[in-house]
Chain A
Amino acid sequence: MDTVITIASGVFAVFGIVLILSGGLGVMRLPDFYSRMHAAGVTETLAAFFIVLVLMLEVGWSIGLFKLLFIMLFVLITSPTASHALTKAARHGRLRAEGDDPEAGSP
């Protein structure tokens, strides 16, 4: 059982690290705000899920497990909402995306 847990947490940790680093790379290199938002918003939610899963496997059956569970649920709910709100505000402020049709009205 222990080796299964160790292998599982290793796999999840690798997923988490890959997601975090690719999100960071996206924020650094992508050309405009909306694509950066896409990189940051998607990867940070899923990375948080995997990393908290690794921490939960590490901590074991204790009060820390439930606190980590709450943190994960909270991040899973609020991170996409914040991304949505930020992108909506950018649209509201008429921020141009690359490839936007300059004649089109605001949505």
Chain B
Amino acid sequence: MAMLAAIGAALLVVMAIAIARALVGPTIYDRILAVNLFGTKTVLLIAVVSVLAGRPDYLDIALVYALINFISIIGVLRYFEYGGEPTEDR
């Protein structure tokens, strides 16, 4: 159990770093990178919480969120290809 708590703590630390990068990151790509990182760490965090709480049904949420994270990144990138202004950053 201590092992899982340590993993959870490391995940939370990196999620905080990702949020900081999303707020700071000079270009829009840094922010998308940070959001993607946040998403995949969230999937792992949900899996850890599910095992800690002994409820395997939370794993379905982790799977859906992994899927949603992937599709959102693809959606964002297709948006840029359609002529959004990627390097402009106000």
- In angstroms, Cα B20 to Cα A33, docked, is 15
> Number of A-B pairs whose CB atoms are under 8 Å?
133
* In the complex, chain B residues 5-48 whose Cβ is within 8 Å of any chain A Cβ: 6-7, 10-11, 13-14, 17-18, 20-21, 27, 29-30, 32-34, 36-37, 40-41, 43-44, 47-48
The residue in chain A whose Cβ has the minimal distance to the Cβ of B62 is A71
- In angstroms, Cα B78 to Cα A92, docked, is 11
Contact yes or no, B36 A86, CB < 8 A: yes
Given contacts A13-B6, A55-B48, contact A86 B27 (CB under 8 A): no
Interface centre among B3, B11, B27, B43 (most CB of A within 10 A): B3
Contact yes or no, A55 B10, CB < 8 A: no
Q: Which residues of A contact B20 (CB under 8 A)?
A: 28
| Number of residues from B at the complex interface, CB < 8 A | 44
| Number of residues from A at the complex interface, CB < 8 A | 46
Please report whether the interface of chain A is mostly helix, strand, loop or mixed according to DSSP: helix
- In angstroms, Cα B31 to Cα A49, docked, is 24
Q: Which residues of A contact B50 (CB under 8 A)?
A: 64
Return B71 CB to nearest CB of chain A, in Å. 9
Contact yes or no, B33 A37, CB < 8 A: yes
- In angstroms, Cα B36 to Cα A28, docked, is 15
Q: Is A42 engaged at the interface, CB distance under 8 Å to the other chain?
A: no
Give the interface of A toward B (CB within 8 A): 9-10, 13, 16-17, 20-21, 23-24, 27-28, 33, 36-37, 40, 44, 47-48, 51-52, 54-55, 58-59, 62-64, 67-68, 70-71, 74-75, 78-79, 81-82, 85-86, 88-90, 92-95
Which 9 pairs from chain A and chain B are nearest by CB? A93-B86, A24-B14, A64-B56, A67-B59, A78-B70, A24-B17, A89-B77, A82-B73, A17-B10
